[in-house]
A and B are shown apart, each in its own frame.
Chain A
Amino acid sequence: MSLRKTMEFLKRLISISAIVGACAMMLPQTASAEYADVVINNYADAAGMRPVVFPHWYHRIRFRCKVCHADLGFQFKAGGNKITMAKIIDGQFCGACHNGEISWSVENCGMCHSGVPGTPTQIHGSTVQRLVAPAYKSLDGGGAAAAPADAPAGGAAASKPAAKPAK
């Protein structure tokens, strides 16, 4: 191996390890928020608002999953519903309840927009997030092939923004 080639190899290794390291740094493993808290930050940060934190535990004490995920049409995917304030004041998504009738109304910005700035969209505390290595893929290829086009994946949602700063 020539010296130049080796240096190149070395550089590549270092950049790979830097990416791995950066990913580890971005993983919010050390936060200890409640299991199933959803951080929604498709747009909020960019618009100068704190990310939204949606507490599943609080809502499931009051409503069954069916109300939101069947009747109101929330997809099983963190960030996958592309919620905006315009939709909310039209009575969609959070706005179906946070309308001053069933629950307090949208002027309470800080109740929903309560996340630490910069926190990526994720489902907090998920099993995927807590794995020390990427999820195992079995020999029979189970899972990967059977994935529906819009397969909900908290892990993917969480790792997408994590990969960004490494580029």
Chain B
Amino acid sequence: MKSLFKAIAVTALYAVSVSMVSAAETKATPKSMELKEVDAPSGTVSSANTFNRLLKKPKQKNAPPPEDGIHDPDNEGSHVLQPPLVAYEGLPTTDFGNYVDWVQSLQKGFLNPRYDRVDPTVEALVMDLDIVREVKASMPDVIFPHKPHTQWLHCSNCHPKIFIPQKGANQINMSAILLGQKCGVCHGKVSFPITTLSCKKCHSKPKPEDWKPPLSAASQKNPWR
């Protein structure tokens, strides 16, 4: 009896969440739903078993404002806004974020954004200092380069609120970053995002040849090892 109810409960939970999620899909992406129906051979595959249950890819890279889902096409101003691809013409590209390499664009002189609100001749206060952070995992170590940062930002944007300006004084790890703290205050929001394709932008210093991942305590004590 108990397990029967449990089974009903689990099914109900599943059915409700699936119907809610697919409702969201139908509402927001009618086009991709059509595609999925064509994918399924004869309508025998349940809609719960679409190939990608959770992966959602953007429909269009750098969509023009009226078609991007955030700007209201009924607002006349939306049609006056510049489509990003027009502005990005000729800029070095990347595979994530805005799909523009902002650092190269600036360093190669394709862009010259003002460092002062009114005076276009003010030069940025640039500091060239790399900070290496050893990573306690198999990922390559992290190099934090001050140069590209100070070309865009001011010291006070980071020091002392986000980082104490002292090597090693800050505890940083990947989950803090993904929660929007430390490097994640900017990366994943405005500066390049955190995706499989971008890990190596930060994790850029290869580990020494003889590096091995440390064994966990549980593994060292494991009698079955």
Contact = CB atoms under 8 A, between A and B. Distances in A.
A67 B115 contact: yes
B178 A114 contact: no
10 contacts: A1-B1, A30-B69, A31-B28, A31-B68, A32-B60, A32-B68, A33-B63, A61-B113, A67-B117, A115-B71
Interface in B62-113: 62-63, 65, 68-72, 75-78, 80-82, 84, 87, 97-98, 100, 102, 111, 113
A83 interface: no
Interface residues of B, number: 84
B13 interface: yes
B139 interface: no
B118 interface: yes
B42 interface: no
Contacts of A72: 117
A137 B179 contact: yes
Contacts of B8: 10
Interface of B: 1-2, 5, 8-9, 12-14, 16-17, 19-21, 23-25, 27-29, 54-56, 58-63, 65, 68-72, 75-78, 80-82, 84, 87, 97-98, 100, 102, 111, 113-118, 124, 151-154, 156-157, 161, 171-182, 184-190, 193-195
A17 B190 CA distance: 32
A36 B152 CA distance: 16
A86 interface: no
A114 B173 contact: no
B11 to A, nearest CB: 10
Contact of B102 (A27, A60, A66, A151): A60
Interface of A: 1, 6, 9-10, 13-14, 16-18, 20-22, 24-25, 27-37, 39, 50, 53, 55-58, 60-67, 69-72, 76, 96-97, 102, 108-117, 119, 123-128, 130-132, 135-138, 140, 142-144, 146-148, 151-156
A25 B28 CA distance: 9
B50 to A, nearest CB: 14
Contacts of B87: 57-58, 61
Given A63-B114, A131-B178, A137-B179, A9 B9 contact: yes
B175 A137 contact: yes
Contacts of B172: 142
Contact of B17 (A17, A123, A155): A17
Interface-centre pick from A64, A70, A108 (highest chain B CB count, 10 A):
A64
B72 A36 contact: no
A115 B84 contact: no
Nearest to B16: A17
Contacts of A138: 173-176
A63 B154 CA distance: 13
* CB-CB nearest 9 A-B residue pairs: A21-B20, A110-B77, A31-B69, A143-B176, A127-B188, A33-B70, A30-B28, A25-B24, A70-B154
A151 B180 contact: yes
Nearest to A111: B77
Given A128-B178, A148-B161, A152-B185, A114 B77 contact: yes
